[in-house]
Structure 1
Amino acid sequence: MTTSEPHRSAAGDSLPPNGVGGASALKAIRLKHPWRNTFAVVLVVIFALFVIDAAQRPAYDWPSVGKYLFDSRVSAAALVTLELTVLAMFFAIILGVSLAIMRLSPNPVVKGVAWFYLWIFRGTPVYVQLVFWGLIAIIYKTIDIGLPFSEPWVTFSTNDLIGAFWLAVIGLALNEAAYMAEIVRAGLLSVDKGQEEAATALGMGWFQTMRRVILPQAMRVIIPPTGNEVISMLKTTSLVTAVPLSTELYSRTRDISAETFNPIPLLIVASIWYLAFTSVLMVGQYFLERYFARGVGDRRPDRGTTATGTLPVIGGNQPTVITGAAPVQGADAGDQPIDPGHGGTRS
């Protein structure tokens, strides 16, 4: 083999001009994973045994589960749980966004106030906070409106003005706002500073920059943890008995079980309702994530000219066969194929 014959192999056989015909086909063999398959079978068997055993356990009392699953009292309590979740998350998101902006403020006083809020509400258990809000009428017996150090213009009784439902909403929202603030702040910080500078150079104001440039990119980071927080809030509503509020799902099923002296079926009923709501929220979170992740992670390579031929292997005696769709990149990529016999230059 001489340098004047670049397309001749070490054995002396010449390749066709396209450099493909002489290449032997490679056969891919799938790796076997016997232990992985065995583990999967074991999991299926364990799950099937659990279901069969649960179906035969008298303590579960499945007829009572079916009886109370769509009971009017349980359905009304499930609606109250949804209302608590939606209202608490609505106010928590509004307050969380405000706190996140305050945390990013260059003003040290504003930043310090936001940090102190997060320190208090993230550092104490939500159950303790709900108990505190349940006792708020003892601390503040009346709510006065007027000028400081003067007679109030209007006075309201705290118990008459704020009921247990709204106390639960306030307690849940204030606690959740501390976590939403950190989620929003992380999303805003994930956007490159150059995006804001470019928007400012184009003459956009702060609000327009946030709405059109920063938030659409930050939502990709904000949506997943926010969805988790919504699901967590749905389950946290079971703690509002500390206010006390006894009209939500868990408290209502607990009261019914106290009447029937059969708590296990009612716990299953509550769990089924929670699972149903959580499943719907997970589906909504999936579509939101996909909507805000458009154009990220699904980029396809540009369609260019397909290059087919042979390239020499440095330090070897056998040329490498190139087949398939190898796009030709660059501004000067045209419709002309690469001639493998001229060192990859255009013919």
Structure 2
Amino acid sequence: MPVRIPDNLPAADTLTEENIFVMSETRAANQDIRPMQVLILNLMPNKIETETQLLRMLSNTPLQVNVDLMRIHDKESKHTPADHMNAFYRDFDDIRNRNYDGLIITGAPLGQLDFTDVSYWDKIRDIMDWSQQHCTSVLFLCWAAHAGFYHLYGLKRKLLETKRSGVYLHARSREHDPLLRGFDDEFYAPHSRYAEMSVEELEAHPDLRILAASEEVGAYLVISEDNRNLFVMGHPEYQKDTLAFEYHRDISAGLNPSLPVNYFKQDDPALEPIGRWHGHANLLISNWLNYYVYQLTPYNLKTEEIQGITPWETNP
């Protein structure tokens, strides 16, 4: 949330240069506030688990957030009861004429498929195109991030020989970007994916900038220059035992997965995992909601199109 200060306070100039959001008393007195409208496109198999993970983080903010859940198709889910899907999920046709403050597109267990071989690829493309006019900010997670780079920016991912799984150390690439407000210089984040993006291609693209990266696993946070699209190459929403569940599931399926890196105590899968990313994950979502949704979105969402806004002069 912004800091409210007296009009013309000298500290305002310094704070503004550091991208600290301050609000004058005059502006604060005339500000209208309403709930944020956030849409979640849930592509994960276990819908209820993913809903819970994301809602837990969305709730960790003083903002009031109204959430709609969307499914990619109405086919029966193997992992989620039909009654749940029919009661709580909307189809794209139900909301395509609406605007939202924020959209979250989750990851999906499709890491080894070409995008064009995904059965609902055409619909994913339609939703991504729609989001660029109907959502103030879009948060792409893991597989969705790679899909967004491919469709919106023409960048291809590189498939890995083995699954990238574990909790990796990352560093901020920019100091004063609002999304990184409160982040330590280094922080941990979980990854679970079969592909990665080229850091060199991301750095060279004029419409993208890297905010955080890892020496081991490459770019982690990337944002578009118009601040509309935020790409997260990992899974900050994962709970402490999620990677353990995936590892033991793959063992049971005879897939011979590698042990998740820097995750189990003493690297022993019989011992409890170590959760070391929840602080950064909650701060990431809180900063996204505050600086890239709440502070940018129009008060009236009932306009035909939400225009892109670029309010932050970010320092390298």
TM-score by length of 1: 0.23
TM-score by length of 2: 0.25
Higher RCO (Cα < 8 Å, 6 or more apart): 1
Which structure has greater helix proportion? Answer: 1
Which structure has greater strand proportion? Answer: 2
